Structure 1
Amino acid sequence: MQTHGPALDAPEILVLRCEGADSALPLPDYATAGAAGADIRADLGQGALTLAPGEVALVPTGLRLQVPEGWEVQLRARSGLALRHGVTLANGVGTIDADYRGPLGVILVNLGAAAFTVAHGDRIAQAVLAPVWRARFREVAALDHTARGSGGFGSTGRG
């Protein structure tokens, strides 16, 4: 994986191209020295995919990842696509678990007012490496009281 700065003890993510994938497409890479996310590209076999307003589609990347145990790769939206076109990830943030070895796809949704075309090789998401903490869940008879209590959505004010 390409890096533009110090990668202190950075884990290595192994990448396998899927059968028939475009080997000319770059592997996930960081666009700038300060980028937290590596760009993920659409592998559409030299074609394109048009998303109508409101449409959801699984966009192939042509890649499979081997994420180290104790880590995950989070797939996040690209802010430029979201701001300019209303195109984002349908599932908010996608998670690639350490034990998943299948093809990497990005679930895009067009929330914009106009159709949006994804071309082969377009940057469609960002991959962010994050540590995984596994919680222990324990049933109890009661929970501690807080000032907020059971106040739900919007209970602390507007916004």
Structure 2
Amino acid sequence: MLHYVQIHKLPGHEDVRIPEKMSSSASGYDLYAAVEEEIVLQPGERKLIPTGFALAMPEGLEAQIRPRSGLAMKHGITCLNTPGTIDADYRGEVKVLLINLGQEPFAIVRNERIAQMVFQEVPQIQFEQVEALSETVRGAGGFGHTGK
């Protein structure tokens, strides 16, 4: 199913690339840094990085902001609050909360790919309060209950 998502480049960021897939089968759209000047993330440091655009999605969609695997593997750069959620009613600039979990400082420059955005459908849920839940083999086991 095709969903139409409006994108608005914010003033002063006309040169920043809009999200794009790197292959026809990719699920994520790469996001680009709209920093005014180079930002250096020191090891352990986190910063909110602008992308220079805002979205308008139809109700029933969300955009999830996720790390880029190459940045994570090569440099220890990842996103906090992963996946970050952009709700359909949000109209502000999309920003990416990056952290440097690596050993070396990492420089972010304008138009560098910093994260990816994946769209998901959001189901409508109606909670039904009950006195007890059905039994399963697992039960309430969680957080490592099956071993290592």
1:44-79, Cα deviation, whole Å (9 max, x unpaired): 12x111111111110001110111111111111100
Q: TM-score if structure 2 supplies the norm length?
A: 0.95
1:36 has 2:40 as partner:
no
Residue from 65, 79, 90 that aligns with 2:80: 90
**Which SS does the other structure have where 2:127 is aligned?**
coil
Task: Report the residue type matching 1:140 in the other structure.
Answer: V
Task: Report the residue type matching 2:113 in the other structure.
Answer: R
Residue from 16, 21, 43 that aligns with 1:25: 16
In structure 1, the gaps of 5 or more residues are 1-8
Contact 2:16–2:52 under 8 Å retained in 1: no
Q: State the distance in 2 between where 1:106 and 1:37 align.
A: 14
Q: State the distance in 2 between where 1:62 and 1:139 align.
A: 43
Task: Report the residue type matching 1:43 in the other structure.
Answer: A
Question: How big is the alpha-carbon RMSD for the aligned residues of Structure 1 and Structure 2?
Answer: 1.1
1:118 aligns to what? Answer: 108
1:66-93, Cα deviation, whole Å (9 max, x unpaired): 1111111111110000000111111110
Residue 18 of structure 1 and its aligned partner are, at CA, apart by 1.8
Task: Report the residue type matching 1:44 in the other structure.
Answer: V
Residue 138 of structure 1 and its aligned partner are, at CA, apart by 2.2
Contact 2:16–2:110 under 8 Å retained in 1: no
1:124-153, Cα deviation, whole Å (9 max, x unpaired): 111111111122122211111111111121
2:70 aligns to what? Answer: 80
**Which SS does the other structure have where 1:108 is aligned?**
strand
In structure 2, the gaps of 5 or more residues are none
Q: TM-score if structure 1 supplies the norm length?
A: 0.88
Which structure 1 residue ranges, 4+ long, deviate > 3 Å from structure 2? none
Q: State the distance in 1 between where 2:40 and 2:17 align.
A: 22
